[in-house]
């Protein structure tokens, strides 16, 4: 049985789920011994430890120009000591171009089978990837496992499924038979889905696999050669993925260079040189808005971006203010606000949030939110693991600066002790009350655990501000709390026009930060937070071109 | 019966044809009395004549700032004298924004029904549109009828069908039910297809309806408000279409301003002001490469372009050189080479084209081509009607300049007498033999009846040049003649990589210039000739954004 047949049932379920958008997951998200094996966790941790301080030799990319590595663990605040092979941009492009032609000529089924098999191989390394993710991004263990392992693999499967479906959209050949009155014109026509060429996927430091695998698999399934350029601070998780893809390619007789890893350093980055190379036709990017907009402006490239945004929470009326505060406190604490879907701006009417027990002012609600945050942080069995560590020192500086914002500090950021990692770089959320007039403060992304409670004239003003932020600065998520159906529709409509998905009235174990594969589009592509969406049809169709040839039927 | 029900069967056939890509046409292309009515032609001509020298009063756009009109008939070389209402850009945007909200909230079925009905109304005006097209573009009667009438209406139907299908791609609501072990997380989710806003469709002077209706109908079906900015030299054909759309909108209770006509003059063009307006989110453009690239570079806009290209014919080996020359002669003469799909560069190996009777050199084949062109031009029942007239004086200047190209003039351009219009601005094709080294000559679009026969080293060199031209300068069509299956595949593959469709071995009554709706993608979007394709899924999906909202199921 070949790989396509082996995985066909999974593929069919994935394609169906893409349309139905009901719950579907192919990779179990719980790191349970019953699912992954009794020793899977310990084995993965040991394998991770065995990689520390060594050369990463698993890639099939010969003749490196050097070896580099700058990763540091936010938990240990010391280097991982792993080094990766480096290559010049011309060498990377040359290898990609050589690998491209065999790969583009492989059948859709062959490519799809190889890629699905690679995900199964990656699955056997979820625990290694989890520890690699923890010690590069600072994510807590559970998030590191889920986001970099099963959730990323499901997003990759989603991209494969979307690509597979779109590649099959038009017939490979057809007889076109046009009645002309006295005779018919008959043409044999054929259509080819032609990949664009070399694809560069630029990773970020906080979600090194989750944000990259969609572009990698989306480009590969449609027949492009891929160069993966990870963030210098978070290489190992995606290096393991690339190594597994290369292994299956090699086994099946395709060049490992069909998917290359291109490592660089912060002080000698190759990203611009790669992106601007004329042979590079596709670019996927996750990261800051300025660089993303620069990439989008490059002529002759098809560019997919996820940039920055300002995520809002509109608070109008609630059934249970404590449950709401608990839910939002968790959203703020989860990975210390370092998620692109984390809330930042909380809009509260001057007259207060309506509750069954009366109204809650900004200060009242801030107090509840602060209590919930403190409760979570100070719970030693939960807090440190939910908060994780801070990936980048600059985020700590931003949190420190936030204390100087002209407003009322409702909760100061502080440190806490991680029971496993005493040296961890940590920061809890800072809560600051400001006024709706202070757009210079809240009208930009403040990446990290920083929350602003903004007093507005009324809920209409809150909606207008949330919409304005999304339209002008981008937004990837939005939370809203209202018990009034008319207000709910007003919010739903206003945020739709700003291309921002709204999570209404979340309480309990589901958070506005979470976007589920096969159901929630991640980023809509319709506001400045990014021009691409995981995974709509454009996300894959823009990676290839339909070209039709025709010839008269021989008489 | 509402309009959606009335036209549902047609819509279903159109959606099916988009996938099957077999021959399908909803609007009969032959201007036959049996189809369109015994007096349809005479009536249409009379109605056209009745519009000359008057204000065009059919638009439902009150309070114009003025009346202008600069159209001139290339057949009569005198002004049509028709004037159209003008509006300031802020006024146009304001009206579009006011109309937008009701239109975006109309159901998919309502929008689709109104648009399909408008095409039926346009059908009753095909003959008026034909005469309007003749006397603005210079097209011959048959092309003017077909291209601006039934072929354009079929392309519009194609865009409606594609939009209708994509708007229905994801469910409007669904229960998302995720097992979490001890409990399930249940969310009600909904998805909205949110139109981007104001859409501007910029027309060209040669195909005023065919090249504009796809953008107009593609934007309208997906819920956007449209502003149609015709070329100042070819307004009337599309003005009639807009008037019919407005009439149906009005009848159904929607603002006519949902689809406005924005007329300007060459010396006071409003195109840039319109395109750069922040409210304009979508731009469709047909025209020159420099302006198209400028539009593509505008940040924050979704831009669909058809620009210029250099179309090649690769001549390797033929069964019947005379039939080939006849076919290509017709392609060159059709509308005097003023089609974006017309051939320009003919690559012939130094050793000659292989034929059953020996090889044909550049000069030999040039002679055959010249004979066929002369035979067609000098056939008074065919030539003048196939060639039509020259839309723009500058094209005549370009043809005159071509005679100075350093090469061998194999056939000089000349004038001929149109039996109906003695004053017609005409020019027959000029044929010039050049060498493959003269890329400065043939490496650019020479719009109009100008053909270059280029002597190459061999067919591999011909293929390389055709590919290079397409990759660097764009190409919308390609012709190729070979009796060798291996050479055929080499051409098919090389031109695929340059995103250019190839017509192989055409002889008889089918030409490389022709792209049929529902089967041939017009422009692939994959080379510099344009970034959009009539009509792939992106052509409509990029006109709206999928936004999903969610809320926990009430317990």
Q: How far is CA B311 from CA B332, B437, B480, in A?
A: 11, 18, 11
Angle at A177 between CA A174 and CA A179, to 5 degrees: 165
- A226, A90: one domain: yes
Give the closest of B176, B505, B524 to A546, CB-based.
Answer: B524
| Cβ contact B331:B377 at 8 Å | no
> What's the pLDDT score for residue B181?
87
Q: Does the beta-carbon distance from B504 to A551 stay under 8 Å?
A: yes
Using alpha carbons only, how large is chain B's radius of gyration in Å?
25
- B330, B298: one domain: no
Stretch (H or E) spanning B4: helix B3-20
The parent domain of residue B45 ranges over: 24-307+532-550
DSSP letters, A82-147, are -BEEE--HHHHHHHHHHHHHHHHHS-HHHHHHHHHHHHHHHHTTHHHHHHHHHHHH---HHHHHHH
Q: Does the beta-carbon distance from B23 to A176 stay under 8 Å?
A: yes
Q: Does the beta-carbon distance from B538 to A542 stay under 8 Å?
A: yes
Which residue stretches of chain B have pLDDT < 50? none
- A6 phi and psi angles, rounded to 5 deg: -55, -40
> Among B27, B1, B33, B2, which residue's Cα sits nearest to residue B13?
B27
Q: What is the CATH number of the domain that holds A30?
A: 3.40.605.10
Average pLDDT of chain A is 97
| Cβ contact A198:A100 at 8 Å | yes
B385 within a domain of the structure (yes/no): yes
The pLDDT tens digits for B313-326 are: 999 999 999 999 99
Q: Does the beta-carbon distance from A549 to B503 stay under 8 Å?
A: yes
> What's the pLDDT score for residue A1?
65
Which residue stretches of chain A have pLDDT < 50? none
- Closest residue, chain A, to B300 (C-alpha): A528
Give the closest of A20, A196, A500 to B547, CB-based.
Answer: A500
> How many whole angstroms separate alpha carbon B328 and alpha carbon B371?
12
Give the 3-state secondary structure of residue B137.
helix
Orientation of helix B126-137 relative to helix B40-51, angle to 10°: 50
A100 within a domain of the structure (yes/no): yes
Q: Does the beta-carbon distance from B177 to A499 stay under 8 Å?
A: no
- B296, B248: one domain: yes
B515 within a domain of the structure (yes/no): no
CB pairs under 8 A between A and B: 183
Q: Which residues of A touch B174 (CB under 8 A)?
A: 20-22
| Cβ contact B502:B479 at 8 Å | yes
Q: Does the beta-carbon distance from B175 to A22 stay under 8 Å?
A: yes
Give the 3-state secondary structure of residue A272.
helix
B523 within a domain of the structure (yes/no): no
Q: Does the beta-carbon distance from B520 to A551 stay under 8 Å?
A: no
> What's the pLDDT score for residue B1?
66
Stretch (H or E) spanning B322: helix B321-333
- A268, A320: one domain: no
Give the closest of B196, B496, B547 to A194, CB-based.
Answer: B496
Q: How far apart are the CA of A431 and the nearest CA of chain B, in angstroms?
A: 26
Orientation of helix A108-123 relative to helix A126-137, angle to 10°: 70
Which residues, 6+ apart, have CB-to-CB distance to B47 below 8 Å?
B125, B127, B128
Burial class (CB in 10 A: 0-12, 13-18, 19+), A46: middle
Q: Which residues of B touch A490 (CB under 8 A)?
A: none
Q: Which residues of B touch A526 (CB under 8 A)?
A: 194, 196, 545, 547
Q: Which residues of B touch A174 (CB under 8 A)?
A: 20-22
Orientation of helix A150-167 relative to helix A210-221, angle to 10°: 20
Q: How far is CA B236 from CA A163, B56, B141, in A?
A: 43, 9, 16
Q: How far apart are the CA of B158 and the nearest CA of chain A, in angstroms?
A: 15
Instruction: List B432's β-bridge partners, or say none.
Output: B409, B452
Q: What is the CATH number of the domain that holds A449?
A: 3.40.309.10
DSSP character at residue A521:
P
* % of chain B with per-residue pLDDT over 70: 100
- Closest residue, chain B, to A476 (C-alpha): B547
Residue of B182, B316, B483, B496 to mutate for A, most A C-beta atoms under 10 A: B496
Reading the block at residue A156, the tokens are 């990759």
B512 within a domain of the structure (yes/no): no
- B332, B364: one domain: yes
The pLDDT tens digits for A222-254 are: 999 999 999 999 999 999 999 999 999 999 999
Q: Which residues of A touch B27 (CB under 8 A)?
A: none
> What's the pLDDT score for residue A181?
87
Residue with tokens 């259509």: A191
- B215, B348: one domain: no
> How many whole angstroms separate alpha carbon A468 and alpha carbon A443?
9
> Among B544, B341, B510, which residue's Cα sits nearest to residue A496?
B544
- B105, B165: one domain: yes
- B115, B260: one domain: yes
- B388, B247: one domain: no
Last residue of a domain, one of A504, A521, A537: A504
B526 within a domain of the structure (yes/no): no
Total domains present in chain B: 2
Buried b (16+ CB within 10 A) or exposed e, A281-314: bbbbbbbebebbbebbeeeebbbbbbbbbbbbbb
| Cβ contact B123:B86 at 8 Å | no
B516 within a domain of the structure (yes/no): no
The pLDDT tens digits for A36-67 are: 999 999 999 999 999 999 999 999 999 999 99
- B118, B93: one domain: yes
- A256, A333: one domain: no
- B401, B352: one domain: yes
Q: Does the beta-carbon distance from A20 to B538 stay under 8 Å?
A: no
Angle at B53 between CA B48 and CA B57, to 5 degrees: 75
Which residues, 6+ apart, have CB-to-CB distance to A466 below 8 Å?
A312, A314, A345, A347, A475, A478, A491, A494, A495, A498, A500
A464 within a domain of the structure (yes/no): yes
DSSP character at residue B553:
P
């Amino acid at each position: 049985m070949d790989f396509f047949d082996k995985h066909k049932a999974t593929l069919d379920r994935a394609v169906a789920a893409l349309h139905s958008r009901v719950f579907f997951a192919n990779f179990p998200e719980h790191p349970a011994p019953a699912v992954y094996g009794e020793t899977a966790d310990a084995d993965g941790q040991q394998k991770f430890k065995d990689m520390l301080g060594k050369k990463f030799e698993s890639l099939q990319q010969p003749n490196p120009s050097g070896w580099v590595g700058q990763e540091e663990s936010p938990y240990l605040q010391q280097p991982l000591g792993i080094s990766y092979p480096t290559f010049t941009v011309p060498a990377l492009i040359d290898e990609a171009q050589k690998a491209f032609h065999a790969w583009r000529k492989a059948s859709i089924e062959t490519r799809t089978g190889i890629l699905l098999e690679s995900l199964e191989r990656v699955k056997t390394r979820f625990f290694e990837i989890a520890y690699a993710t923890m010690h590069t991004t600072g994510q807590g263990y559970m998030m590191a496992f889920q986001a970099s392992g099963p959730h990323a693999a499901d997003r990759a499967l989603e991209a494969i499924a979307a690509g597979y479906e779109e590649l099959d959209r038009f017939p490979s050949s057809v007889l076109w038979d046009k009645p002309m009155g006295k005779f018919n014109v008959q043409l044999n026509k054929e259509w080819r889905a032609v990949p664009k060429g070399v694809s560069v996927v630029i990773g970020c430091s906080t979600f090194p696999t989750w944000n990259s695998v969609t572009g990698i698999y989306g480009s590969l399934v449609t027949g492009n050669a891929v160069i993966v350029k990870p963030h210098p601070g978070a290489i190992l998780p995606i290096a393991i993925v690339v190594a597994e893809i290369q292994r299956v390619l090699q086994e099946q007789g395709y060049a490992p260079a069909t998917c290359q890893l291109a490592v660089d350093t912060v002080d000698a980055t190759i990203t611009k040189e790669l992106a601007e190379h004329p042979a590079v036709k596709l670019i996927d990017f996750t990261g800051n808005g300025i660089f993303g907009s620069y990439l989008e402006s490059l002529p002759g490239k098809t560019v997919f971006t996820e940039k920055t945004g300002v995520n809002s929470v509109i608070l109008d009326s609630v059934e249970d203010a404590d449950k709401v505060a608990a839910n939002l406190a968790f959203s703020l604490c989860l990975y210390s606000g370092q998620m692109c879907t984390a809330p930042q701006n909380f809009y509260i009417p001057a007259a207060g949030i309506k509750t069954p027990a009366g109204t809650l002012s900004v200060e009242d609600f801030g107090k509840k939110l602060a209590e919930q945050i403190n409760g979570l942080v100070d719970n030693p069995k939960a807090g440190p693991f939910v908060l994780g560590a801070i990936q980048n020192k600059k985020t700590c500086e931003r949190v420190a600066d936030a204390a100087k914002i002209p407003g009322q500090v409702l909760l100061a950021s502080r440190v806490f002790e991680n029971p496993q990692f005493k040296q961890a770089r940590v920061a809890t959320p800072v809560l600051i009350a400001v006024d709706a007039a202070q757009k210079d403060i809240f009208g930009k992304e403040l990446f990290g655990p920083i929350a602003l409670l903004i007093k507005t004239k009324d809920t209409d003003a809150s909606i207008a501000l949330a919409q304005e932020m999304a339209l002008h600065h981008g937004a990837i998520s939005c939370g809203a709390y209202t018990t009034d159906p008319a207000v709910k529709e007003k919010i739903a409509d206003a945020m739709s026009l700003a291309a921002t998905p709204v999570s209404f009235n979340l309480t309990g174990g589901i958070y506005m930060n979470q976007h589920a594969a096969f159901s929630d589009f991640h980023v809509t592509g319709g506001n400045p937070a990014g021009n691409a969406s995981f995974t709509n049809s454009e996300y894959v169709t823009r990676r290839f071109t339909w070209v039709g040839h025709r010839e008269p039927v021989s008489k």
